[in-house]
Amino acid sequence: MTVSVDRPQGMDSAESVALLDPAPLGAAAPAIGVREPRAVLARPRIVGVGTATSPTSYTQEEVLEAFGITDPRIRSVFLNSAIERRNLSLPDPDDDGVRPVEPQGDLLDKHKRMAVDMGAEALLNCLRRAGADLSDLRHLCCVTSTGFLTPGISALLIRELGIDRHCSRSDIVGMGCNAGLNALNVVAGWSAANPGDLAVVLCVEACSAAYAMDSTMRTAVVNSLFGDGAGAVALLTDPTEIPLTLAGPPAGEPAAAASGGPGILKFASCIIPDAVDAMRYEWDRDLGRFSFYLDPLIPYVVGAHAEIVVDRLLSGTGLRRSDIGHWLVHSGGKKVVDAVVVNLGLTRHAVRHTTGVLRDHGNVSSGSFLFSYERLHDEGVAAPGDYGVLMTMGPGSTLETALIRW
Residues annotated as part of the active site: 177
**Residue 101 in 3-state DSSP?**
coil
* Residues 302-323: b if buried by 16+ CB within 10 A, e if exposed: bbbbbbbbbbbbbbbbebeeee
In angstroms, the CA 128 to CA 374 distance is 13
The answer to whether residues 405 and 385 touch, using CB atoms and an 8 Å cutoff, is yes
The answer to whether residues 227 and 87 touch, using CB atoms and an 8 Å cutoff, is yes
Tally of CB atoms within 10 A around 20:
22
The answer to whether residues 208 and 114 touch, using CB atoms and an 8 Å cutoff, is yes
Smallest CA-to-CA distance from 178 within 367, 355, 371, 307 is with 367
Query: Which distant-in-sequence residues (6+ apart) come within 8 Å of 163 by Cβ?
Result: 134, 137, 140, 157
In angstroms, the CA 27 to CA 370 distance is 37
From residue 89, how far is each of 21, 63, 66, 218, 363 by CA, in Å? 43, 11, 12, 21, 15
Give the HSE-up count for residue 302: Cα atoms under 13 Å, Cβ half-sphere: 34
DSSP letter (8 states) at residue 226:
B
Q: Which helix or strand (DSSP H or E) is residue 32 part of?
A: none
**Residue 300 in 3-state DSSP?**
helix
The answer to whether residues 194 and 154 touch, using CB atoms and an 8 Å cutoff, is no
Dihedral, CA of residue 145, residue 151, residue 157 and residue 158, to nearest 10 = 140
Dihedral, CA of residue 120, residue 123, residue 124 and residue 126, to nearest 10 = 160
In angstroms, the CA 151 to CA 319 distance is 43
